Protein backbone atom coordinates (compact mmCIF):
# COMPACT_ATOMS: atom_id res chain seq x y z
CA UNK A 1 0.00 0.00 0.00
CA UNK A 2 1.14 3.52 -0.82
CA UNK A 3 1.93 5.44 2.35
CA UNK A 4 1.44 9.19 2.77
CA UNK A 5 4.61 11.25 2.77
CA UNK A 6 3.54 13.16 5.89
CA UNK A 7 3.08 9.94 7.88
CA UNK A 8 6.42 8.56 6.70
CA UNK A 9 8.18 11.81 7.72
CA UNK A 10 6.50 11.50 11.11
CA UNK A 11 7.84 7.95 11.49
CA UNK A 12 11.38 9.17 10.82
CA UNK A 13 11.12 12.03 13.33
CA UNK A 14 9.79 9.61 15.98
CA UNK A 15 12.90 7.43 15.51
CA UNK A 16 15.11 10.46 16.19
CA UNK A 17 12.99 12.04 18.96
CA UNK A 18 14.04 9.80 21.84
CA UNK A 19 14.20 12.67 24.38
CA UNK A 20 13.27 16.38 24.24
CA UNK A 21 16.98 17.15 23.63
CA UNK A 22 17.02 14.82 20.63
CA UNK A 23 13.75 16.25 19.30
CA UNK A 24 15.32 19.71 19.41
CA UNK A 25 18.48 18.40 17.69
CA UNK A 26 16.39 16.74 14.96
CA UNK A 27 14.34 19.94 14.44
CA UNK A 28 17.55 21.99 14.34
CA UNK A 29 19.11 19.71 11.69
CA UNK A 30 16.10 20.18 9.41
CA UNK A 31 16.00 23.96 9.95
CA UNK A 32 19.73 24.37 9.31
CA UNK A 33 19.52 22.21 6.15
CA UNK A 34 16.73 24.46 4.88
CA UNK A 35 18.91 27.54 5.40
CA UNK A 36 17.45 28.94 8.65
CA UNK A 37 20.15 31.01 10.38
CA UNK A 38 20.92 30.37 14.06
CA UNK A 39 20.49 33.20 16.57
CA UNK A 40 21.27 33.44 20.29
CA UNK A 41 19.47 35.58 22.88
CA UNK A 42 22.76 37.13 24.03
CA UNK A 43 23.52 38.59 20.57
CA UNK A 44 22.05 41.67 18.99
CA UNK A 45 20.10 40.61 15.91
CA UNK A 46 20.02 42.16 12.47
CA UNK A 47 16.93 40.62 10.96
CA UNK A 48 15.78 41.16 7.40
CA UNK A 49 12.47 40.95 5.58
CA UNK A 50 12.37 37.51 3.92
CA UNK A 51 14.85 36.10 6.48
CA UNK A 52 14.44 32.72 8.26
CA UNK A 53 15.95 32.12 11.67
CA UNK A 54 15.97 29.81 14.70
CA UNK A 55 16.98 29.96 18.35
CA UNK A 56 17.53 27.13 20.85
CA UNK A 57 16.82 27.61 24.53
CA UNK A 58 18.43 25.43 27.23
CA UNK A 59 18.73 22.45 24.88
CA UNK A 60 15.17 21.17 25.07
CA UNK A 61 13.18 23.97 23.46
CA UNK A 62 13.65 25.62 20.06
CA UNK A 63 11.96 28.42 18.11
CA UNK A 64 11.96 29.06 14.37
CA UNK A 65 10.58 32.08 12.58
CA UNK A 66 10.22 33.48 9.08
CA UNK A 67 9.89 37.20 8.40
CA UNK A 68 7.60 38.01 5.46
CA UNK A 69 9.31 39.39 2.34
CA UNK A 70 7.01 42.44 2.57
CA UNK A 71 7.09 42.77 6.35
CA UNK A 72 6.06 46.16 7.77
CA UNK A 73 6.36 47.25 11.43
CA UNK A 74 3.10 46.54 13.26
CA UNK A 75 2.33 43.42 11.18
CA UNK A 76 0.88 40.44 13.01
CA UNK A 77 2.49 37.25 14.27
CA UNK A 78 1.14 33.82 13.42
CA UNK A 79 2.47 31.42 16.02
CA UNK A 80 2.17 27.66 16.38
CA UNK A 81 3.42 25.74 19.41
CA UNK A 82 4.00 22.07 20.21
CA UNK A 83 5.81 20.26 23.03
CA UNK A 84 8.99 18.22 22.80
CA UNK A 85 8.58 16.05 25.93
CA UNK A 86 6.65 12.83 26.56
CA UNK A 87 5.79 10.77 29.65
CA UNK A 88 8.68 8.47 30.47
CA UNK A 89 10.94 7.06 33.16
CA UNK A 90 13.96 9.17 34.10
CA UNK A 91 17.16 7.87 35.72
CA UNK A 92 18.01 9.29 39.14
CA UNK A 93 21.56 10.29 40.18
CA UNK A 94 23.55 7.39 41.74
CA UNK A 95 21.00 4.97 40.23
CA UNK A 96 22.86 1.67 40.73
CA UNK A 97 20.97 -1.03 42.62
CA UNK A 98 22.35 -4.57 43.03
CA UNK A 99 19.86 -7.16 44.24
CA UNK A 100 20.12 -10.98 44.34
CA UNK A 101 22.60 -11.08 41.45
CA UNK A 102 20.72 -8.57 39.30
CA UNK A 103 21.74 -5.07 38.32
CA UNK A 104 18.91 -2.54 38.33
CA UNK A 105 18.45 1.23 38.06
CA UNK A 106 16.61 3.62 40.33
CA UNK A 107 14.17 5.64 38.20
CA UNK A 108 11.44 8.23 38.66
CA UNK A 109 8.31 8.77 36.62
CA UNK A 110 8.16 11.84 34.35
CA UNK A 111 4.64 13.02 33.49
CA UNK A 112 1.48 10.94 33.41
CA UNK A 113 2.81 7.67 31.98
CA UNK A 114 0.57 4.56 31.85
CA UNK A 115 3.08 2.58 33.88
CA UNK A 116 2.10 -0.96 32.88
CA UNK A 117 2.74 -0.16 29.20
CA UNK A 118 6.43 0.20 30.05
CA UNK A 119 6.65 -3.45 31.13
CA UNK A 120 8.17 -6.12 28.87
CA UNK A 121 9.48 -3.57 26.37
CA UNK A 122 13.01 -3.31 24.96
CA UNK A 123 14.15 -0.01 26.51
CA UNK A 124 17.15 2.17 25.78
CA UNK A 125 18.71 5.22 27.43
CA UNK A 126 19.09 8.74 26.03
CA UNK A 127 19.40 12.34 27.14
CA UNK A 128 22.24 14.67 27.99
CA UNK A 129 25.30 14.25 30.17
CA UNK A 130 27.29 17.09 31.69
CA UNK A 131 31.06 16.61 31.87
CA UNK A 132 33.88 18.23 33.79
CA UNK A 133 35.64 20.92 31.75
CA UNK A 134 38.51 23.36 32.28
CA UNK A 135 36.01 26.19 32.85
CA UNK A 136 33.85 26.17 36.00
CA UNK A 137 30.99 28.10 34.41
CA UNK A 138 31.02 26.15 31.17
CA UNK A 139 30.84 22.40 31.81
CA UNK A 140 30.74 20.32 28.64
CA UNK A 141 27.27 19.13 27.60
CA UNK A 142 26.93 16.00 25.47
CA UNK A 143 23.89 14.37 23.92
CA UNK A 144 23.74 10.60 24.27
CA UNK A 145 21.51 8.02 22.63
CA UNK A 146 22.58 4.46 23.47
CA UNK A 147 20.38 3.37 20.57
CA UNK A 148 20.08 -0.34 21.45
CA UNK A 149 17.88 -2.03 24.07
CA UNK A 150 19.84 -2.21 27.32
CA UNK A 151 17.02 -2.23 29.91
CA UNK A 152 13.70 -3.97 30.47
CA UNK A 153 11.05 -4.13 33.23
CA UNK A 154 9.60 -7.66 33.28
CA UNK A 155 6.05 -8.39 34.41
CA UNK A 156 5.47 -10.73 37.33
CA UNK A 157 4.27 -14.15 36.10
CA UNK A 158 0.51 -14.69 36.42
CA UNK A 159 1.23 -17.81 38.51
CA UNK A 160 2.71 -15.55 41.19
CA UNK A 161 -0.23 -13.13 41.11
CA UNK A 162 -3.41 -14.95 40.10
CA UNK A 163 -5.34 -11.65 40.52
CA UNK A 164 -3.30 -9.85 37.88
CA UNK A 165 -6.18 -9.55 35.40
CA UNK A 166 -8.26 -7.73 38.00
CA UNK A 167 -5.77 -4.88 37.73
CA UNK A 168 -2.44 -4.21 39.42
CA UNK A 169 -1.36 -1.02 41.07
CA UNK A 170 2.29 -0.46 40.25
CA UNK A 171 4.39 1.32 42.85
CA UNK A 172 6.37 4.11 41.18
CA UNK A 173 9.43 3.45 43.35
CA UNK A 174 9.59 -0.31 43.79
CA UNK A 175 7.83 -1.83 40.76
CA UNK A 176 9.40 0.20 37.96
CA UNK A 177 13.13 -0.46 38.46
CA UNK A 178 14.41 -1.83 35.14
CA UNK A 179 16.81 -4.74 34.90
CA UNK A 180 20.19 -3.59 33.60
CA UNK A 181 22.10 -6.87 33.75
CA UNK A 182 23.63 -9.47 36.03
CA UNK A 183 26.28 -8.86 38.67
CA UNK A 184 28.02 -12.21 38.28
CA UNK A 185 31.26 -12.11 40.24
CA UNK A 186 31.10 -8.31 40.51
CA UNK A 187 28.31 -8.27 43.08
CA UNK A 188 28.47 -5.15 45.20
CA UNK A 189 30.25 -3.18 42.50
CA UNK A 190 28.32 0.06 42.72
CA UNK A 191 29.26 2.21 39.76
CA UNK A 192 28.19 -0.07 36.93
CA UNK A 193 25.91 2.51 35.28
CA UNK A 194 28.43 5.34 35.57
CA UNK A 195 31.08 3.07 34.05
CA UNK A 196 28.67 2.10 31.28
CA UNK A 197 27.98 5.78 30.55
CA UNK A 198 31.69 6.58 30.53
CA UNK A 199 32.23 3.77 28.03
CA UNK A 200 29.44 5.00 25.77
CA UNK A 201 30.81 8.55 25.85
CA UNK A 202 34.48 7.59 25.69
CA UNK A 203 35.36 9.67 28.79
CA UNK A 204 36.69 8.78 32.28
CA UNK A 205 33.82 8.04 34.70
CA UNK A 206 35.24 10.70 37.02
CA UNK A 207 34.45 13.39 34.41
CA UNK A 208 30.69 12.79 34.60
CA UNK A 209 29.15 15.50 36.79
CA UNK A 210 25.44 15.04 36.20
CA UNK A 211 22.91 13.87 33.62
CA UNK A 212 19.29 14.13 32.47
CA UNK A 213 18.71 10.67 31.05
CA UNK A 214 15.47 8.95 30.26
CA UNK A 215 14.33 5.51 29.20
CA UNK A 216 12.61 5.16 25.85
CA UNK A 217 10.81 2.44 23.96
CA UNK A 218 13.12 1.26 21.15
CA UNK A 219 10.33 -0.31 19.09
CA UNK A 220 9.79 1.15 15.63
CA UNK A 221 6.36 2.36 14.49
CA UNK A 222 4.19 0.25 12.17
CA UNK A 223 0.93 0.48 10.24
CA UNK A 224 -1.96 -1.53 11.71
CA UNK A 225 -5.42 -2.39 10.34
CA UNK A 226 -6.71 -4.52 7.47
CA UNK A 227 -6.32 -1.48 5.26
CA UNK A 228 -3.39 0.01 7.22
CA UNK A 229 -5.72 2.66 8.61
CA UNK A 230 -3.73 3.17 11.81
CA UNK A 231 -0.19 4.07 12.83
CA UNK A 232 1.02 2.41 16.04
CA UNK A 233 4.08 4.15 17.49
CA UNK A 234 5.84 5.41 20.60
CA UNK A 235 5.79 9.18 21.31
CA UNK A 236 2.93 10.19 18.98
CA UNK A 237 2.19 12.66 21.80
CA UNK A 238 3.62 15.00 20.71
CA UNK A 239 5.94 14.26 17.77
CA UNK A 240 2.85 14.40 15.49
CA UNK A 241 2.50 18.10 16.34
CA UNK A 242 6.23 18.86 16.20
CA UNK A 243 6.40 17.32 12.71
CA UNK A 244 3.34 19.21 11.45
CA UNK A 245 4.51 22.60 12.77
CA UNK A 246 8.07 21.98 11.56
CA UNK A 247 7.08 21.06 8.01
CA UNK A 248 4.79 24.09 7.90
CA UNK A 249 7.48 26.57 8.99
CA UNK A 250 9.85 24.99 6.41
CA UNK A 251 7.27 25.59 3.65
CA UNK A 252 6.72 28.92 1.86
CA UNK A 253 4.73 31.29 4.09
CA UNK A 254 2.87 34.59 3.70
CA UNK A 255 4.62 37.78 2.57
CA UNK A 256 3.42 39.95 5.47
CA UNK A 257 4.07 39.61 9.18
CA UNK A 258 6.10 36.98 10.99
CA UNK A 259 5.41 33.24 11.21
CA UNK A 260 6.79 31.61 14.34
CA UNK A 261 7.09 27.97 15.41
CA UNK A 262 7.67 27.24 19.11
CA UNK A 263 8.71 23.86 20.50
CA UNK A 264 8.51 23.87 24.29
CA UNK A 265 9.67 21.31 26.85
CA UNK A 266 7.91 20.34 30.10
CA UNK A 267 4.25 20.29 28.93
CA UNK A 268 3.77 16.91 30.61
CA UNK A 269 4.70 18.38 33.99
CA UNK A 270 2.74 21.62 33.71
CA UNK A 271 4.84 23.93 31.47
CA UNK A 272 5.90 26.30 34.25
CA UNK A 273 9.65 26.16 33.70
CA UNK A 274 12.19 28.24 31.80
CA UNK A 275 11.91 25.91 28.78
CA UNK A 276 8.14 25.57 29.12
CA UNK A 277 5.19 27.41 27.59
CA UNK A 278 4.53 28.99 31.00
CA UNK A 279 7.76 31.00 30.84
CA UNK A 280 8.08 34.57 29.67
CA UNK A 281 10.30 33.42 26.83
CA UNK A 282 7.91 33.68 23.88
CA UNK A 283 6.97 37.18 24.96
CA UNK A 284 10.67 38.14 25.12
CA UNK A 285 11.33 36.49 21.78
CA UNK A 286 8.49 38.27 19.97
CA UNK A 287 9.58 41.62 21.38
CA UNK A 288 13.22 40.99 20.45
CA UNK A 289 12.22 40.02 16.90
CA UNK A 290 10.22 43.22 16.51
CA UNK A 291 12.91 45.49 17.98
CA UNK A 292 15.47 43.84 15.69
CA UNK A 293 13.22 44.59 12.71
CA UNK A 294 13.19 48.26 13.61
CA UNK A 295 9.77 48.29 15.26
CA UNK A 296 9.24 49.84 18.69
CA UNK A 297 7.41 48.62 21.77
CA UNK A 298 4.29 50.47 20.61
CA UNK A 299 4.27 48.38 17.42
CA UNK A 300 4.87 45.20 19.46
CA UNK A 301 1.76 45.98 21.49
CA UNK A 302 -0.25 46.87 18.39
CA UNK A 303 0.78 43.73 16.51
CA UNK A 304 -0.52 41.50 19.33
CA UNK A 305 -4.10 42.56 18.58
CA UNK A 306 -4.10 40.77 15.21
CA UNK A 307 -1.82 37.89 16.19
CA UNK A 308 -2.80 34.26 16.66
CA UNK A 309 -1.48 31.16 18.41
CA UNK A 310 -2.18 27.61 17.29
CA UNK A 311 -1.49 25.26 20.19
CA UNK A 312 -0.89 21.87 18.61
CA UNK A 313 -1.13 18.75 20.75
CA UNK A 314 -2.85 15.38 20.48
CA UNK A 315 -6.52 14.92 21.44
CA UNK A 316 -8.45 11.97 22.83
CA UNK A 317 -9.92 9.72 20.14
CA UNK A 318 -13.06 7.72 20.82
CA UNK A 319 -12.25 4.18 22.00
CA UNK A 320 -14.97 1.81 20.72
CA UNK A 321 -14.70 -0.41 23.82
CA UNK A 322 -15.32 2.58 26.09
CA UNK A 323 -17.84 4.70 24.20
CA UNK A 324 -19.34 5.98 27.44
CA UNK A 325 -16.06 7.71 28.30
CA UNK A 326 -16.82 10.25 25.56
CA UNK A 327 -18.95 13.33 25.32
CA UNK A 328 -22.29 12.42 23.72
CA UNK A 329 -22.03 14.95 20.88
CA UNK A 330 -18.37 15.97 20.47
CA UNK A 331 -16.14 12.97 19.75
CA UNK A 332 -12.78 12.59 18.05
CA UNK A 333 -12.67 9.66 15.64
CA UNK A 334 -9.34 8.33 14.37
CA UNK A 335 -9.05 9.11 10.65
CA UNK A 336 -11.70 11.82 10.99
CA UNK A 337 -9.22 14.67 10.69
CA UNK A 338 -7.99 17.38 13.02
CA UNK A 339 -9.54 17.61 16.47
CA UNK A 340 -10.41 21.16 17.57
CA UNK A 341 -10.38 20.93 21.38
CA UNK A 342 -12.64 23.06 23.54
CA UNK A 343 -13.27 23.34 27.29
CA UNK A 344 -15.24 25.95 29.22
CA UNK A 345 -12.66 25.56 32.00
CA UNK A 346 -10.01 26.77 29.47
CA UNK A 347 -7.95 23.64 30.06
CA UNK A 348 -8.06 23.82 26.26
CA UNK A 349 -7.80 27.40 25.02
CA UNK A 350 -11.34 28.12 23.90
CA UNK A 351 -12.00 31.24 21.90
CA UNK A 352 -14.80 30.96 19.36
CA UNK A 353 -13.31 33.66 17.14
CA UNK A 354 -10.00 31.80 16.84
CA UNK A 355 -11.84 28.50 16.37
CA UNK A 356 -13.89 30.10 13.59
CA UNK A 357 -10.64 31.06 11.84
CA UNK A 358 -9.40 27.45 12.02
CA UNK A 359 -12.73 26.14 10.70
CA UNK A 360 -12.62 28.55 7.75
CA UNK A 361 -9.01 27.51 7.06
CA UNK A 362 -9.97 23.82 7.08
CA UNK A 363 -12.92 24.46 4.80
CA UNK A 364 -10.86 26.53 2.35
CA UNK A 365 -8.36 23.64 2.08
CA UNK A 366 -10.94 20.83 2.08
CA UNK A 367 -9.51 19.39 5.33
CA UNK A 368 -11.65 17.26 7.67
CA UNK A 369 -11.99 18.47 11.28
CA UNK A 370 -14.04 17.53 14.32
CA UNK A 371 -14.77 19.33 17.56
CA UNK A 372 -13.76 17.60 20.76
CA UNK A 373 -14.97 18.30 24.28
CA UNK A 374 -14.44 16.18 27.39
CA UNK A 375 -17.40 14.61 29.20
CA UNK A 376 -18.78 17.00 31.81
CA UNK A 377 -18.54 14.34 34.53
CA UNK A 378 -15.20 12.92 33.44
CA UNK A 379 -11.59 13.79 33.96
CA UNK A 380 -10.25 16.35 31.54
CA UNK A 381 -7.05 16.81 29.64
CA UNK A 382 -5.14 20.03 29.25
CA UNK A 383 -2.27 21.39 27.23
CA UNK A 384 -0.01 24.38 26.75
CA UNK A 385 -2.41 26.65 24.80
CA UNK A 386 -4.04 28.46 27.71
CA UNK A 387 -0.76 28.69 29.63
CA UNK A 388 1.10 30.20 26.66
CA UNK A 389 -1.69 32.66 25.86
CA UNK A 390 -1.77 33.89 29.45
CA UNK A 391 1.91 34.85 28.99
CA UNK A 392 1.35 36.35 25.52
CA UNK A 393 -2.31 37.34 25.34
CA UNK A 394 -3.32 36.61 21.75
CA UNK A 395 -6.26 34.67 20.28
CA UNK A 396 -5.49 30.98 20.75
CA UNK A 397 -6.92 27.67 19.60
CA UNK A 398 -6.06 24.08 20.57
CA UNK A 399 -5.88 21.50 17.80
CA UNK A 400 -4.21 18.13 17.17
CA UNK A 401 -4.66 14.61 15.85
CA UNK A 402 -6.96 12.29 17.84
CA UNK A 403 -5.14 9.47 19.60
CA UNK A 404 -5.93 6.21 21.37
CA UNK A 405 -3.83 4.97 24.29
CA UNK A 406 -2.53 8.48 25.03
CA UNK A 407 0.52 8.33 27.34
CA UNK A 408 1.08 4.64 26.69
CA UNK A 409 4.61 3.60 25.73
CA UNK A 410 2.97 2.87 22.36
CA UNK A 411 0.07 5.00 21.08
CA UNK A 412 -2.32 4.77 18.12
CA UNK A 413 -3.49 7.33 15.54
CA UNK A 414 -5.27 7.42 12.19
CA UNK A 415 -2.56 7.13 9.51
CA UNK A 416 -4.24 9.82 7.34
CA UNK A 417 -4.64 12.43 10.06
CA UNK A 418 -1.02 13.59 9.93
CA UNK A 419 -1.58 14.94 6.41
CA UNK A 420 -4.67 16.94 7.48
CA UNK A 421 -2.83 18.48 10.43
CA UNK A 422 0.23 19.36 8.34
CA UNK A 423 -1.87 20.91 5.57
CA UNK A 424 -3.77 22.99 8.11
CA UNK A 425 -0.64 24.44 9.73
CA UNK A 426 0.83 25.14 6.28
CA UNK A 427 -2.33 27.02 5.26
CA UNK A 428 -2.27 28.94 8.56
CA UNK A 429 1.23 30.24 7.77
CA UNK A 430 0.60 30.76 4.06
CA UNK A 431 -2.76 32.45 3.59
CA UNK A 432 -2.56 36.25 3.78
ZN1 LIG B 1 0.77 16.25 24.60
pLDDT in tens, 25-46: 999 999 999 999 999 999 999 9
Contact between 90 and 128 under an 8 Å Cβ cutoff? The reply is no
Q: How far is the CA of 313 from the centre of ligand 1 (A)?
A: 5
Ligand 1 centre distance from Cα of residue 36 (Å): 26
| CA–centroid distance, residue 237 to ligand 1 (Å) | 5
**Span 143-152, mean pLDDT?**
98
* Domain 88-217 grouped into CATH 3.50.30.30: no
Tens-place pLDDT, residues 318-369: 999 999 999 999 999 999 999 999 888 888 888 899 999 999 999 999 999 9
Delimiting residues of CATH 2.30.250.10 domain(s) in the chain: 88-217
- Cα of 225 vs centre of ligand 1, distance in Å, is 24
Specify whether domain 5-85+235-430 bears CATH 3.40.50.300.
Answer: no
- Name the pLDDT band for 144 (thresholds 50, 70, 90): very high
Q: 66-97 pLDDT, tens per residue?
A: 999 999 988 899 999 999 999 999 999 999 99
Distance 268 CA to ligand 1 centre (A): 7
User: With bands split at pLDDT 50, 70 and 90, how would you rate the model's confidence at 189?
Assistant: low
Cα 201 to ligand 1 centre (Å):
31
pLDDT of 299 higher than 70: yes
Residue 297's pLDDT is 84
Give residue 3's pLDDT: 94
pLDDT class for 226, splitting at 50, 70, 90?
A: very high
Q: What is the pLDDT of residue 349?
A: 83
Q: How far apart are CA 65 and CA 82, in angstroms?
A: 14
Confidence at 186, pLDDT banded by 50, 70, 90 = low
Q: Assess contact for 20 and 85: CB atoms under 8 A.
A: yes
Would you place residue 432 in the very low, low, confident or very high pLDDT band (cuts 50, 70, 90)? confident
pLDDT of residue 319: 96
- Which of 47-61, 161-175, 367-381 is predicted least confidently? 367-381
CATH 3.40.630.10 boundaries in the chain: 5-85+235-430
Average pLDDT over residues 89-114: 95
Ligand 1 centroid – CA 3 distance (Å): 25
Amino acid sequence: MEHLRETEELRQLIRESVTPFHTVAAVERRLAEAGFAQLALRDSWKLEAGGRYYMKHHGSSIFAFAVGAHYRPGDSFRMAAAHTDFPALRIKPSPEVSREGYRQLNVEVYGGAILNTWLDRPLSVAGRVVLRSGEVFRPEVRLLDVGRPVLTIPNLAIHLNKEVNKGVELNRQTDMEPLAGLCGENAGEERFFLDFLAGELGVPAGDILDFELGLYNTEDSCYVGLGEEFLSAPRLDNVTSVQAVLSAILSPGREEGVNLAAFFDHEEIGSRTKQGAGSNLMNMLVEKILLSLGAGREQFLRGMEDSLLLSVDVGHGLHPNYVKKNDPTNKGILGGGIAVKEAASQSYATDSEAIGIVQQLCESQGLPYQKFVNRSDGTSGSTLGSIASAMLPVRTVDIGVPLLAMHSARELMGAQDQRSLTELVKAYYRIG
